[in-house]
Amino acid sequence: MKSILITIVVATLYNALPQQTDDSPLVTASGALINELCPESHRWVAVSPDLLGKGWGFGECIRVEGAGEMDGVWQIQDVMNPRFTNYIDFLVENERKLGKWYGVKITLTNDDYETQIR
């Protein structure tokens, strides 16, 4: 059984666009392919590199609390620019531009991702 990790982060939004990602915006750092028509349907997040080094890995599920409508279960599939520490970034539709929350609690869960997002 995995130990449960809990931490407090800053949460923001990102879009699958070259100016916010890299030259392959529809492929996450984990190699997962983003649905261009509805990226938010995946419920994927990017985490800052410091979190990856602390046990928050690709494919892991997190429960988010304190980010309003973004609260719930998300899956880690991407990594943010190294200039960010203690952050998560919600993958959202390209039309959504603004969103920043402080003091957001994230909990690594043991449950199956597919079960949780239903």
Residue at token pair 């429960």: 63
- pTM comes to 0.88
Contact call for residues 62 and 107 (beta carbons, < 8 A): yes
Residue ranges covered by each domain of the chain:
6-116
- Fold assignment, 6-116: Barwin-like endoglucanases (2.40.40)
User: Residue 83: pLDDT above 90?
Assistant: yes
Tokens of 52: 């990856």
Report the mean per-residue pLDDT for the chain. 89
Contact call for residues 33 and 82 (beta carbons, < 8 A): no
User: Residue 34: pLDDT above 50?
Assistant: yes
What mean pLDDT comes out for the span 33-57?
Answer: 92
Between 68 and 118, where is the model more confident? 68
| Res 115: pLDDT | 52
